[in-house]
Structure 1
Amino acid sequence: MARYNLGTVVSFEVTRTLTKRRFWIATLIVPVIIGIVVALIVGANSSTDNSVSSQKNQKFSFTYSDASGVVDPSIVKAVGGSKASSPSAAIAAVKSGKLDAYFDYPADPAKQATKVYGVDKGIFDNGKYSSVASSILTASAEAKVHDAKLTTLVKGDLPVDATTYDSSGAVSGGIGSVIPPLLFLAIFYVVILLLGNQMLTSTLEEKENRVTEMILTTLNPTTLIIGKVVSLFIVGIVQMLVFALPVVVGYLFFRTSLNLPALDLADLQLDPWQMITGALLLIGGFTLFTGTLVAVGAIMPTAKEAGQIFGVMMALIFVPFYGVTLIVSDPHALIVQVFTWFPYSAPVTAMLRNGFSSLSPGEAIGVIVEQFVLGVVVLRLAVRLFRFGSIEYSKKVSLSAVLPSRKAARAAR
């Protein structure tokens, strides 16, 4: 019967949530916005590239003077330019509109700015002057090198294959070993941010609708709370899949347009210990935060009052990021240790340290045990609070009234 009730609760909660219009509006609005932003960026980048390309290839009347001796007259002639008789005469011709532009190359173009004078063609079209002046100088410099290898070296876009070793002498994984365990941290943030408010109101909804007494006549409070937690996890998976869809589509089809780096899965290194630790920290942290928010919802009479506690809980998971530099560079600092062991900052701090391989096995086991033990304790407390707070509609539930006093405990013995 208990299993049947648990399945009923999970099925009811998931179905009720997924059939709500506001759930899908809230879930889809971010992917839709991301899609719109991606489309705008792709369009803007494409327009910018086309504009820059067209500006570099535009032909207009111009003259130049070259104090550096770098500019190749044949390259200038190919794009429709000629050498100026004098700088003052060229500038005067531009001012009068007889000449479109005049380029004044200094003695040391690497340290001194090239002066460009042009007829105003509009704020966007004026960029063609600087583009053409720069392309002439670059092409002239490359022509003087007369060596493809040296030209590549001058451009500076050189391939480098770096290998680093950890303290044991083994080849370290670099960024490829950091990304996989840190994915658990990203999932933790997504789940808490998306479902935090729903965790808080999961028990408040029945209380505000005055139906908890009727529910508890046919259902065990423990079964109800566990069913709600399981349903929240299922709903969270649905939301994560919906959120991931535009990211995957954007990377697969618009990576070049969005200037995203190529991701070679072969470079990713999966360390079994780090992955297991990250997964357990994620589940333990999720259990603790879910239990805490459900307990808060059981205490508070309305969602408005519960929202104040929700803000504090959300702040706690972001506190470690204020010291992220210290967490990465000096994981044994006192403040980092406080963040590592304080229950509500521990999941984020420990997952960060786990990703950067600074979380020792002892610390990992300690934090994981702490999260699961406190999570179970808080969930049991949430069940007790819900049982006593289900009929309290006008004020907060007093913990002293719910938890047995020492005197009552001695009497029971």
Structure 2
Amino acid sequence: MAQHNLGTVVGFEFIRTVTKGRFWIGTLSVPVIIAVVFGLIFLSNTTTDTATEAQKSAQFSISYTDASGLITAADAALFGATAADSPDAGIQAVQSGAVDAHFDYPAHPETTAVHVYGADKGIFENGKYAAVAQAMLTHAVEQKIGSPQLSALAAGKVQIQTVTYDGTKESGGLGSVIPPLFFLVIFYGLIVLLAGQMLNSTLEEKENRVTEMILTTLKPTTLIAGKVIALFGIGLVQMIVFLSPILIARLFFPEELSLTAPDLPPLVLDPVRMTVGLLILIGGFALFTTTLVAIGAVMPTAKEAGNFMGVMMALIFVPFYAVALVVSDPQSVIVQIFTFFPFSAPVTALLRNGFGSLSLLEAGIVIAILYVGAAVMLRLAVRLFQYGSISYTSKVNVRNALRSKARRPVAGVPPTAAG
């Protein structure tokens, strides 16, 4: 009968939530935003590349003066440029409309700026002048060097591939950092979107004055456990939805995905760090869920509970104030406190796990803290809900609730007097 009741609670809470329009509006907003951002980046990179190439090959009338002697008449002719008598004459030609642009190359362009003067064609199209001036100088220098290989080396066009080792094993570099950090993104998404649902999971019954009736047919443990399990199911649905745009892009649009992040290295999935990240994510989610459910069991209304939710939300953002320290000096005292304090542990540990500074021993301790803390908070939530189930107008006294002997309520009789 108890298992049947638990299944009923889980099914009811899960279906009630996932059939609400606002749940899907909030859940789908995340992948939609991700897809829109990736789309904008893709379009921006494509447009930028096209515009850059177009600017380099743009055709317009040019005059130039060259005090460096690097640019020959043959070099200038390739770009349709003609020599001006002086910089002032070139500027006057631009102002009168005789030419579109004038390039003034100094005697030492390696240390002195090249001055470019052009007719205003709009803030975006004006970029073509500098692009062509640079291309013209680069071509002239390449001709002086006389070797494509030396020209490429002089221009810094060198591909450097770095390989690092963790002992005898090749490390993944940045490609191994990104996948574990996805768990941190998922954690934030779940908490931000589900915090209100967690808090109101027990408040709804209290505000509707039906907890007394519910507890005559259900054990408090069954009711609270059912609500927590339902929240886990809802969180799993949201996690799948959050990851869907990335998985779809990875499977069906790999070239477009690489264009949105051209410098992104190949992703490396480290089984140990991915497993640790998943366990921390589940433990952190369980701790925050049970804690917010416990807060809901204490407060008589959602309005009063909202103040405490602000505190809980602040705790998951506190580690970001020390993110530079988390990355650069993970063994510092403040980082160690953030790592092992239960409510800052999920974010700090996920950050450190992503950057590879969380040892297996530290990971084990953090995971134990989170899971034990979640179990304690679940037990506390049950006790508080049972004690204050019909405390409709005032907050539950936590101290009295912990000291009292919990008893199941009888309809019409407060829990402390039931029997």
Same structural fold, with TM-score higher than 0.5 when normalized by the shorter chain: yes
Structural mapping, 1:298-337, within 5 Å = 298-337=297-336
2:266 is matched by which residue type in structure 1?
D
How far is the alpha carbon of 1:214 from its aligned partner? 2.5
- Taking a change above 3 Å as real, the CA distance of residues 124 and 145 of structure 1, as seen in their structure-2 partners, is same
Q: Per-residue displacement from partner, 1:68-99 (whole Å, max 9, x unpaired)? A: 22224323212322111232222222222222
Structural mapping, 1:361-400, within 5 Å = 361-400=360-399
Bigger shift: residues 325-334 or 388-397: 325-334
Partner Cα separation in structure 2 for residue 240 and residue 192 of structure 1: 11
Is residue 177–residue 271 contact of structure 1 (8 Å, CA) maintained in 2? no
Matched, 1:258 2:257: no
Question: In the alignment, which residue of structure 1 is the partner of 2:410?
Answer: none
How far is the alpha carbon of 1:382 from its aligned partner? 0.3
2:310 is matched by which residue type in structure 1?
G
How far is the alpha carbon of 1:397 from its aligned partner? 1.1
How far is the alpha carbon of 1:32 from its aligned partner? 2.7
Structural mapping, 1:174-193, within 5 Å = 174-193=173-192
1:95 is matched by which residue type in structure 2?
Q
- Taking a change above 3 Å as real, the CA distance of residues 329 and 29 of structure 1, as seen in their structure-2 partners, is closer
1:114 is matched by which residue type in structure 2?
V
Q: Per-residue displacement from partner, 1:217-245 (whole Å, max 9, x unpaired)? A: 22222111111111111111221222223
How far is the alpha carbon of 1:115 from its aligned partner? 0.9
Bigger shift: residues 321-330 or 221-230: 321-330
Question: In the alignment, which residue of structure 2 is the partner of 1:90?
Answer: 90
Partner Cα separation in structure 2 for residue 122 and residue 378 of structure 1: 62
How far is the alpha carbon of 1:45 from its aligned partner? 3.5
**How many residues matched?**
402
How far is the alpha carbon of 1:255 from its aligned partner? 2.3
Question: In the alignment, which residue of structure 1 is the partner of 2:416?
Answer: none
Is residue 194–residue 236 contact of structure 1 (8 Å, CA) maintained in 2? no
2:134 is matched by which residue type in structure 1?
S
How far is the alpha carbon of 1:380 from its aligned partner? 0.6
Question: In the alignment, which residue of structure 2 is the partner of 1:150?
Answer: 150
How far is the alpha carbon of 1:148 from its aligned partner? 2.6
Question: In the alignment, which residue of structure 2 is the partner of 1:48?
Answer: 48
2:82 aligned counterpart, secondary structure: strand
Partner Cα separation in structure 2 for residue 214 and residue 260 of structure 1: 60
Is residue 174–residue 265 contact of structure 2 (8 Å, CA) maintained in 1? no
Question: In the alignment, which residue of structure 2 is the partner of 1:295?
Answer: 294
Question: In the alignment, which residue of structure 2 is the partner of 1:204?
Answer: 203
- Taking a change above 3 Å as real, the CA distance of residues 42 and 372 of structure 1, as seen in their structure-2 partners, is closer
Q: CA RMSD in A?
A: 2.4
Q: Per-residue displacement from partner, 1:269-318 (whole Å, max 9, x unpaired)? A: 5253x444333322222222111110001111121211111111111112
2:260 aligned counterpart, secondary structure: coil
Is residue 319–residue 348 contact of structure 2 (8 Å, CA) maintained in 1? yes
Question: In the alignment, which residue of structure 2 is the partner of 1:279?
Answer: 278
2:403 aligned counterpart, secondary structure: coil
How far is the alpha carbon of 1:145 from its aligned partner? 2.5
2:257 is matched by which residue type in structure 1?
R
Question: In the alignment, which residue of structure 2 is the partner of 1:80?
Answer: 80
Is residue 45–residue 257 contact of structure 1 (8 Å, CA) maintained in 2? yes
Bigger shift: residues 80-89 or 44-53: 44-53
Question: In the alignment, which residue of structure 1 is the partner of 2:235?
Answer: 236
How far is the alpha carbon of 1:206 from its aligned partner? 2.1
How far is the alpha carbon of 1:262 from its aligned partner? 4.3
Bigger shift: residues 171-180 or 133-142: 171-180
TM-score (norm 2): 0.87
1:127 is matched by which residue type in structure 2?
G
Partner Cα separation in structure 2 for residue 195 and residue 215 of structure 1: 24
2:80 is matched by which residue type in structure 1?
G
1:387 is matched by which residue type in structure 2?
Q
Partner Cα separation in structure 1 for residue 271 and residue 43 of structure 2: 40
Question: In the alignment, which residue of structure 1 is the partner of 2:26?
Answer: 26
Question: In the alignment, which residue of structure 1 is the partner of 2:354?
Answer: 355
Q: Per-residue displacement from partner, 1:168-207 (whole Å, max 9, x unpaired)? A: 5654443344344434333322322222221111111222
Identity of matched residues, %: 56
- Taking a change above 3 Å as real, the CA distance of residues 326 and 126 of structure 1, as seen in their structure-2 partners, is closer
1:104 aligned counterpart, secondary structure: strand
- Taking a change above 3 Å as real, the CA distance of residues 173 and 123 of structure 1, as seen in their structure-2 partners, is closer
Consecutive unaligned residues in structure 2, runs of 5 or more = 406-419
Partner Cα separation in structure 1 for residue 325 and residue 282 of structure 2: 25
Is residue 300–residue 397 contact of structure 1 (8 Å, CA) maintained in 2? yes
Question: In the alignment, which residue of structure 2 is the partner of 1:409?
Answer: none
Partner Cα separation in structure 1 for residue 124 and residue 360 of structure 2: 58
Question: In the alignment, which residue of structure 1 is the partner of 2:415?
Answer: none
Partner Cα separation in structure 1 for residue 93 and residue 176 of structure 2: 62
Partner Cα separation in structure 1 for residue 78 and residue 179 of structure 2: 53
Question: In the alignment, which residue of structure 2 is the partner of 1:141?
Answer: 141
Is residue 255–residue 261 contact of structure 1 (8 Å, CA) maintained in 2? no
Is residue 38–residue 250 contact of structure 1 (8 Å, CA) maintained in 2? no
Partner Cα separation in structure 2 for residue 357 and residue 122 of structure 1: 48
- Taking a change above 3 Å as real, the CA distance of residues 364 and 108 of structure 1, as seen in their structure-2 partners, is same
Is residue 319–residue 345 contact of structure 1 (8 Å, CA) maintained in 2? yes
1:373 is matched by which residue type in structure 2?
V
- Taking a change above 3 Å as real, the CA distance of residues 399 and 234 of structure 1, as seen in their structure-2 partners, is same
1:119 is matched by which residue type in structure 2?
A
TM-score (norm 1): 0.89
- Taking a change above 3 Å as real, the CA distance of residues 3 and 357 of structure 1, as seen in their structure-2 partners, is same
